[in-house]
A and B are shown apart, each in its own frame.
Chain A
Amino acid sequence: MLQIRDLTRSFGGLRAVDGVSFDVGDGQVTGLIGPNGSGKSTLLNLIAGQLHPDTGSIHFGGQDITRSSPDAINRLGLARGYQDPALFFQMSVLDNTLLPAREQLGESPWHAPWHARWRGQEQHNAARADTLLERLQLRDLFDRRASDLSGGQMKLLDIGRSLSGEPSMLLLDEPTAGVAPKLAREIFQHIATLNREAALSFLIVEHRLDILFDFVDQVIVLHMGKVLAAGKPDDIVKDVRVREVYFGL
């Protein structure tokens, strides 16, 4: 699904991402871990097209997306969430969820004034948003401004919003940061369900390793911009180098 080869990106003299290669298979959940400053966020930004690499390549679903723009990458089915939920805070929960829906006729100003042309589609999208919000337990709040939500609800809405564009793969940046442990596990249960039912692939940056390791198929460990280790969660936990730099053992 996602192939990353020899990806390098420097800022000034600093190599934030340095020759990184790995694959994420169809329907796989991959965890991306590493100490602060190891290049995880830069890597996510490179994949999502918000930064472009100096060298190396990124392929998604067989297409070269190395130099594609963020919107084009999203339209191919690779969506991203944000660490600090970057919601549209002045808009309602429902509007947040509806925005990413694809091919909206009413998004063209030529069709927009004619309600009849897009009402059917909007109804369809609203029904889907309804199901999605129900699943994330946000259904009752659909009318609220996003700024009125709690921190955990914002996280959920951020994921829900990414989903409403019907991606085939989701990049998540610390989906449980700043969330109570119980809710954190719930968020990962949502992820697991989505993975099972909708065959969605995930690449998740996460600091809560205890939870993460229960849910992922594969873990990539980044250290100083390089892949230190990659493999199944059990193997990673045993890896001596990882224990050294990451767990400080």
Chain B
Amino acid sequence: MNIDLGATLVALMTFFGIAALMALSLNLEYGIAGVPNFGQAVFVSIGAYTTAITYTRLLPLLAGKEVIWPCGPTLGPALQLRSEIMRSYPGAGFLNLAITLVIAALVSGLVGYFVSRIALRLQQEWFLALVLLVGGETVRIFVRSYEPVICANNGVSGVAQPFAWLGNPQLSSILFMLLVLSVAALTWVYCERLVRSPFGRLLKALRENAAVTRSLGKDVALARARVMLIGSVIAAIAGVFFVLNTGYISSNDFVVTLTLDIWVMVVLGGLGNNRGALLGALVITILDRLTAIATIQMNMSAIDLEFNYVRYILYGIILLLMLRYRPQGILPEPARTTNAHDLLTDPAPHVADS
């Protein structure tokens, strides 16, 4: 079997960038703030569905063409129109991507914000996990049954990468990889700064004891809503890139197992540690590729084993082993996270108390 090493690496790093966004989002929500988001798939899927809608409805308008209904009998022409615009109208493509990111972020952020507000009504702590899980499945069933979003079961295909107009698939996928990686890097810097700020301190206090945090004068509900908003925005951006990368949107991609994948990354890397989230994302992306390659190899040598099965068994085992033997993850959360400590360690910390 021939594996094009360069292309594999580019694909791997693109996947890694997307996975890193998802893991950073969950780490912020659960690792730092303790909000158990078992509905990560929904927020990722909001990004994906937004992409489906803008690339079928908005893109033609931006390029000055007429919109063709993307489902049913006009599915073919609509697909052709999309690809043509992506090939010859780079301006429209980029503008569309920018608008998609903004809409996805807004919608997902608002949903996250309101879900966390509603969640305050829940009595037991794990109910939120269940509501998010079930809410995600409900959205998925709705999208699968209601044609206008992604043509129901058919999905929407032909959502090209923003650099498709270059006409050179290799170059455009490298540029796309760079785009994804730089967004992931920016997000990482942002998350790191949040964690080390007083906001991060508030979130960690919240994670440990919400009632006491509240009695110390903090608006706990607002802080939770805000962190859900930020996490949801990040997840939605990951969702947009996810679709642009595969070029295809199907509701089957956003099932509970996607949420579990993200949890595996964060638990593996280290809850509460952004570097850990990145490491977890990298390990899982590589494992994913390796199991895929291994299965193809095995299929060739007539051993019939679906790679998804092996993958999930592996993930289950990783989760159990980590939670059993190293619940803090490969890279545990550092004890000293806010910058304030440097202020007291500095040689001249005694600023006069005015």
Contacts and interface: CB of A to CB of B under 8 A. Distances in A.
A94 B341 contact: yes
A142 B223 CA distance: 26
A142 B341 contact: yes
Nearest to A124: B351
A125 B213 CA distance: 18
Contacts of A114: 193
B208 A122 contact: no
B324 interface: no
B353 A74 contact: no
Contacts of B134: none
B215 interface: yes
A128 interface: yes
A131 to B, nearest CB: 6
A98 B194 contact: no
A50 to B, nearest CB: 7
Interface stretch (B136-144, B199-207, B259-267, B312-320): B199-207
A107 B202 CA distance: 7
Given A90-B204, A100-B217, A109-B199, A82 B193 contact: no
Contacts of B343: 122-123, 126-127
B224 to A, nearest CB: 12
B353 A98 contact: no
Nearest to A86: B212
Interface string B305-342: 00000000000000000000000000001011111110
A99 B213 CA distance: 9
Given A127-B353, A143-B336, A79 B199 contact: no
B215 A92 contact: no
Given A99-B202, A100-B216, A161-B216, A113 B194 contact: yes
Given A106-B198, A118-B198, A50 B215 contact: yes
B169 to A, nearest CB: 36
Interface residues of B, number: 44
Interface string B343-354: 111000111111
A150 interface: no
Given A122-B340, A126-B344, A106 B349 contact: no
B340 A102 contact: no
Contact of A95 (B201, B219, B220): B201
A207 interface: no
- Taking residues whose C-beta sits less than 8 angstroms from the other chain, chain A's interface range is 35 or more
Contact of B349 (A82, A99, A127, A143): A127
B202 A126 contact: no
Interface in A45-89: 48-50, 69-71, 74-75, 79-80, 82, 86, 88-89
B349 A107 contact: no
Given A95-B338, A122-B339, A107 B199 contact: yes
B301 interface: no
A69 B204 contact: no
B194 A69 contact: no
Given A88-B204, A143-B341, A115 B193 contact: yes
Nearest to B192: A113
Nearest to A128: B353
A91 to B, nearest CB: 6
A3 interface: no
Nearest to A114: B193
A127 B350 contact: yes
B340 A71 contact: no
A109 B194 CA distance: 7
Contacts of A122: 198, 339-340, 343
Interface in A110-169: 112-115, 118-119, 122-131, 142-143, 145, 161-162, 165
Which residue, of A95, A122, A130, has the highest number of chain B Cβ atoms within 10 A? A95
A199 to B, nearest CB: 17
A104 interface: yes
B65 interface: no
Interface of A: 48-50, 69-71, 74-75, 79-80, 82, 86, 88-92, 94-95, 98-100, 102, 104-109, 112-115, 118-119, 122-131, 142-143, 145, 161-162, 165
Given A50-B215, A90-B204, A107-B197, 17 more contacts: A88-B209, A95-B204, A98-B198, A98-B201, A98-B338, A99-B213, A106-B197, A107-B198, A112-B197, A113-B194, A122-B339, A123-B343, A124-B354, A127-B349, A142-B344, A143-B336, A143-B345
17 contacts: A48-B215, A71-B214, A71-B219, A82-B212, A88-B208, A90-B335, A92-B341, A112-B194, A112-B198, A113-B190, A113-B193, A119-B339, A126-B349, A127-B349, A129-B344, A145-B335, A161-B216
